Amino acid sequence: MNNKLALIVAVVLGILSIIGIRLYVDGIVLKYTREQEPVDCFVSTKNIEPGRTFTLDDVIENQFPRQVLEAYKTSRITDKTTVIGARVQQKIEVGQVLQTYHFAAKRIQKVLEFGKEYRAVTLPINKVTGVGGLLRPGDFVDLIVNIKLLDAGKDILGVKELPVSRTMYKSVLVLATDLVTDPSDIDAGRGYTTVTVRLRPDEVNKVLFAQYNGGVIHLCQAQSGTGEYAGHHSVITNSLYNDVKDEIQAILQGD
């Protein structure tokens, strides 16, 4: 009887051992299968240097084994819409998995508040006409136009066209540089190509008319709190000549 019971116990233990081994092996196979399972992820389509804005053309979907992607943990970008338009702050290599540290945090744009009687107008500028990239939202500028004026086909001082430089408007508030509306933003004053300013509707029309008719708008930064100076200081060729004519006459006369 004891031998029979011992045999039964041995058989049961053997079966349990086999089941245990099978479960263990199945677990290993399942884990390996899961680790090697291809998972979709977003990678870069090209080498991208820091400072550039990330676009839809810069990203493509690829697949990697789950085990590889688990190494990225929570840093992997899983929704490409969260980085489209973001500024790249760390170099990204072609084919590299996109991670959060590659991108600067997207800024929340400050709501523009400039008064119902005013309008916001955006002007294209370059490094020279835009005060060398020194402007930030909240600064004040003078708007100077360089243009050739016509008087409805009539002669002006004996000429058909009269080149003029004139301060159109003074102490104009800068509302934004490119998309930056917050002066404390890390991108404020960095490589902007447009400046949005606050003007009255009639002023907007004059500035745009001058711009669309060959005028060049030049911004001059004004010191905060500085009072308005008198006049608009229009300059034509005769203005410059009058400044130096006495010196020229003295030279010609040999004085």
| Coil vs helix vs strand at 141 | strand
Domain assignment present for residue 247? The answer is no
Domain assignment present for residue 16? The answer is no
Domain residues for 48? 38-102
Q: Are residues 126 and 86 in the same domain?
A: no
Domain assignment present for residue 18? The answer is no
Q: Are residues 93 and 133 in the same domain?
A: no
Q: Single out the residue of 170, 173, 189, 171 nearest to residue 113, CA to CA.
A: 173
Domain assignment present for residue 243? The answer is no
Sequence-ordered list of residues with C-beta below 8 angstroms from that of 193, at least 6 positions apart, any chain? 124, 125, 126, 130, 178
φ and ψ at residue 39, rounded to 5 degrees = -125, 135
How large is the average pLDDT for residues 126-131?
87
The total number of structural domains in the chain stands at: 2
Q: Are residues 48 and 149 in the same domain?
A: no
Between CA 119 and CA 122, with CA 120 as vertex, the angle to 5 degrees is 140
Domain assignment present for residue 108? The answer is no
Q: How confident is the model at residue 153 (pLDDT cuts 50, 70, 90)?
A: low
Q: What CA–CA distance (Å, rounded) separates 64 from 130?
A: 47
Q: Are residues 141 and 201 in the same domain?
A: yes
pLDDT digits (tens, 9 = 90+) for 165-200: 888 888 899 998 888 888 877 677 777 888 999 999
pLDDT, position 170: 87
pLDDT digits (tens, 9 = 90+) for 41-79: 888 999 999 888 888 889 988 888 777 767 777 788 888
Q: Are 172 and 198 in contact (CB under 8 A)?
A: yes
- Phi-psi sector, 131: left (phi>0), alpha (psi -120 to 50), beta: left
pLDDT, position 245: 75
Q: Are residues 82 and 186 in the same domain?
A: no
